[in-house]
Amino acid sequence: MTNLIEKIEKLKRDRNAIILAHVYQRDEVQKIADFTGDSLGLSKRAVHTSADVIVFCGVKFMAETAAILNPDKTVLLTEQDAGCPLADMTTKKQLDEKRALYPDAAVVSYVNSSAEIKAESDACCTSANAVDVVKSLPQKQILFLPDKNLGSYVASKLPEKEIILWNGFCYVHEKNIDPAKIKSLKSLHPDAEVMAHPECNPDVIGLTDYVGSTSGMLMYAKESKAKEFIVGTENGLLYELQKENPDKKFYPCNTVCEDMKRTSLESVLRSLEEMKYKIAVPENIRIYAKKALDRMLKV
């Protein structure tokens, strides 16, 4: 392992590369990253780098976002097949059909979407800023895609808006975390506070003490006086939660994103050695997708 890490470090210097990792990555991958964060944090970090190469340990839509924001840099996704089933739940054809039904609606796409869908959107958002992005738009009617649970959460916070939901979901949150699981963990750990990602079902959200993005949960756990937490998101977040709060206890919901876990230290090394897998977005899509991302980053 040490040998592997040394090789990664050397190649990283030789290539003037930076390693970005999402907080759902394997512990050992998060450990060697230059920066770990949520989708929003990683997007911002991708903009402010002087590196020539961005090695993205995450899933395709995240590397695509980095490529949209950094056309002059080489963006590598560590595993070619690391996708996001939620992002695949919207196609341009479906969006065109839905938009025809709501011609006055602004389209807000969660970053968990393809570059093509971003290019068709008025603004992008992440789970950390979805409420603020929707609030900032002048339109009352918002076509929010693709995650129905995040859309419902936004609607609950902004009753003045009319949110039209898409029928997308993330199996890691929607299928693998349910009220019974939360209640059973709560009965085992009655003093624990419940935190959950807004991709969880509204019935789960109703049982929480805090709802937020992965970075929001990290902040909440640090600031809360509670000593124990039930963590309603992908298991990977436990690594950073425990690192930042060694005196607190965290109980996972045991839910894993298979695509996030594809990347290993071996993938990172291969990525740097072979300069794989290059992610590029056609310019006619990139410029429009960037507009939607810029609108988000301004909020």
Residue among 19, 53, 55, 59 that touches ligand SF4 (CB under 6 A):
59
137 lies in the site for ligand SF4, by CB under 6 A? no
Question: Which C-beta is closer to ligand 13P: that of 90 or that of 126?
Answer: 126
Residue 59's nearest CA partner among 91, 32, 94, 29 is: 29
Question: Which C-beta is closer to ligand 13P: that of 150 or that of 272?
Answer: 150
Residue 298's nearest CA partner among 40, 20, 37, 36 is: 40
- With beta carbons less than 8 A apart as the criterion, state whether 163 and 151 touch: yes
Residue 215's nearest CA partner among 191, 172, 183, 244 is: 244
Strand partners, 144: 108, 165
Residue among 20, 26, 38, 229 that touches ligand 13P (CB under 6 A):
38
Q: Using alpha carbons only, how large is the chain's radius of gyration in Å?
A: 19
What is the nearest approach in angstroms of ligand SF4 to the Cβ of residue 24? 6
253 lies in the site for ligand SF4, by CB under 6 A? no
What gap in Å lies between CA 32 and CA 29, rounded to an integer? 6
User: Which residues within the stretch 147-176 sit at the binding site for ligand 13P (CB under 6 A)?
Assistant: 170
213 lies in the site for ligand 13P, by CB under 6 A? yes
CA max distance for the chain:
57
Residue among 25, 127, 235, 263 that touches ligand 13P (CB under 6 A):
127
Question: Which C-beta is closer to ligand SF4: that of 141 or that of 176?
Answer: 176
User: Which residues within the stretch 248-277 sit at the binding site for ligand 13P (CB under 6 A)?
Assistant: none
What is the nearest approach in angstroms of ligand 13P to the Cβ of residue 253? 13
Partner from ligand 13P, ligand SF4, none contacting 272, C-beta within 5 to 8 A by type: none
17 lies in the site for ligand SF4, by CB under 6 A? no
User: Which residues within the stretch 229-248 sit at the binding site for ligand SF4 (CB under 6 A)?
Assistant: 234
Partner from ligand 13P, ligand SF4, none contacting 126, C-beta within 5 to 8 A by type: ligand 13P
DSSP state letters, 186-220 = HHH-TT-EEEE-TTS-HHHHTT-SEE--HHHHHHH
Residue among 23, 67, 150, 170 that touches ligand SF4 (CB under 6 A):
170
What 8-state DSSP symbol labels residue 87? G
Partner from ligand SF4, ligand 13P, none contacting 85, C-beta within 5 to 8 A by type: ligand SF4
Partner from ligand SF4, ligand 13P, none contacting 39, C-beta within 5 to 8 A by type: ligand 13P
Q: 23 φ, ψ to 5°?
A: -70, 0
What gap in Å lies between CA 39 and CA 274, rounded to an integer? 26
Entry field: residues in the chain = 299
Partner from ligand SF4, ligand 13P, none contacting 267, C-beta within 5 to 8 A by type: none
Judging by beta carbons within 10 Å of its beta carbon (0-12, 13-18, 19+), is residue 4 exposed, middle or buried?
A: middle
Residue among 30, 112, 263, 267 that touches ligand 13P (CB under 6 A):
112
Residue 17's nearest CA partner among 280, 271, 286 is: 271
89 lies in the site for ligand SF4, by CB under 6 A? no
39 lies in the site for ligand 13P, by CB under 6 A? yes
217 lies in the site for ligand SF4, by CB under 6 A? no
Judging by beta carbons within 10 Å of its beta carbon (0-12, 13-18, 19+), is residue 203 exposed, middle or buried?
A: exposed
Using CB under 6 A as the criterion, which residues of the chain lie in contact with ligand SF4 when the complex forms? Answer: 59, 84-86, 112, 170, 172, 234, 257, 259-260
